[in-house]
């Protein structure tokens, strides 16, 4: 009996030794680095221009330390990095995921809302917009998205540090959307569709009454009323234009 006990004890010792040997050989998670250290290293990779490596390291933090503050910050860093490299759709998808995960985090989620608006706004821009082109003449779906993202931020977090800036951006975006509608009305006018042009001008006047594009919408509407021989309506519109915008000079052209 003593011999059996001794054998079992020896086996236990051998197995225990194997176990500890295996533990010693098992690699540490992320080489034993803390989430803070990993985060700082990821930021260094970003500074060095190693975008892919930095994103990979931020993702490692999220996988190994999902409850840490560095995991949350890393998610935002990934979104911002994707944005800076013009991967707009991926960046917005990351921010949507962040907002879904942390809907009530007052310290960071308002920023995620704000960044969505900035990204969508930049997505609609061109380097030539300040010189030659106008983003209102292109597809404005991303402009509408940006408008709605800023509006969501204002409604959900009215006291956030980003809200005032979002409000000022809304005015710019609204004017872009109005100019788009005006370009559409001009297009209809050039293509001999006066009723469609008139309806588009009415839409501008009713939906955006304080827009800088109102005088042009009135002027264009009067022109199209002339086209369909609606003299009384054309006269009424011109009277409104003269009473409210007496110094208006047309800036659009109907020439191709």
Cα(102)–Cα(157) distance, integer angstroms: 14
pLDDT higher than 50, residue 14: no
Work out the mean pLDDT of the chain and round it to a whole number.
Answer: 87
Please give the pLDDT value at position 1: 53
Please give the pLDDT value at position 134: 74
Query: In the structure, what pLDDT confidence band is assigned to residue 3 with cuts at 50, 70 and 90?
Result: low
Cα(19)–Cα(104) distance, integer angstroms: 45
pLDDT, tens digit (0-9, with 9 covering 90-100), for 62-101: 998 888 999 999 999 999 999 999 999 999 999 999 999 9
CA nearest to 180, candidates 222, 132, 140: 140
Longest dimension (CA), the chain: 120
Query: In the structure, what pLDDT confidence band is assigned to residue 139 with cuts at 50, 70 and 90?
Result: confident
Please give the pLDDT value at position 33: 77
pLDDT, tens digit (0-9, with 9 covering 90-100), for 96-115: 999 999 998 999 999 999 99
Query: In the structure, what pLDDT confidence band is assigned to residue 138 with cuts at 50, 70 and 90?
Result: confident
Q: The whole model's pTM is what?
A: 0.81
Query: In the structure, what pLDDT confidence band is assigned to residue 160 with cuts at 50, 70 and 90?
Result: very high
Q: Who's near 167: CB < 8 A, 6+ residues apart? A: 150, 154
Query: In the structure, what pLDDT confidence band is assigned to residue 19 with cuts at 50, 70 and 90?
Result: very low
Cα(206)–Cα(221) distance, integer angstroms: 13
């Amino acid at each position: 009996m003593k011999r059996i006990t001794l054998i079992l004890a020896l086996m236990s010792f051998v197995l225990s030794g194997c176990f500890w040997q295996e533990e010693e050989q098992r690699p540490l998670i992320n080489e034993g680095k803390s989430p803070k250290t990993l985060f700082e290293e990821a930021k260094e990779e970003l500074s060095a221009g190693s975008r892919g490596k930095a994103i990979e390291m931020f993702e490692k933090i999220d996988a190994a330390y999902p409850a840490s503050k560095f995991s949350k910050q890393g998610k935002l860093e990934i979104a911002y990095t994707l944005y800076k490299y013009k991967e707009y759709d991926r960046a917005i998808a990351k921010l949507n995921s962040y907002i879904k995960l942390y809907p009530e985090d007052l310290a960071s989620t308002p920023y995620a809302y704000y960044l969505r608006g900035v990204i969508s706004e930049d997505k609609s821009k061109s380097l030539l917009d300040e010189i030659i082109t106008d983003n209102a003449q292109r597809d404005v779906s991303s402009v509408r998205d940006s408008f709605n993202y800023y509006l969501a931020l204002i409604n959900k977090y009215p006291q956030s540090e980003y809200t005032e800036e979002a409000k000022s951006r809304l005015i710019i975006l609204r004017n872009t959307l109005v100019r788009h509608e005006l370009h559409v009305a001009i297009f209809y006018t050039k293509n001999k569709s006066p009723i469609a042009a008139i309806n588009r001008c009415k839409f501008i006047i009713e939906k955006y009454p304080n827009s800088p594009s109102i005088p042009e919408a009135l002027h264009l509407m009067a022109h199209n009323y002339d086209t369909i021989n609606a003299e009384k309506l054309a006269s009424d519109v011109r009277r409104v234009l003269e009473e409210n915008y007496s110094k208006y000079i047309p800036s659009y052209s109907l020439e191709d």
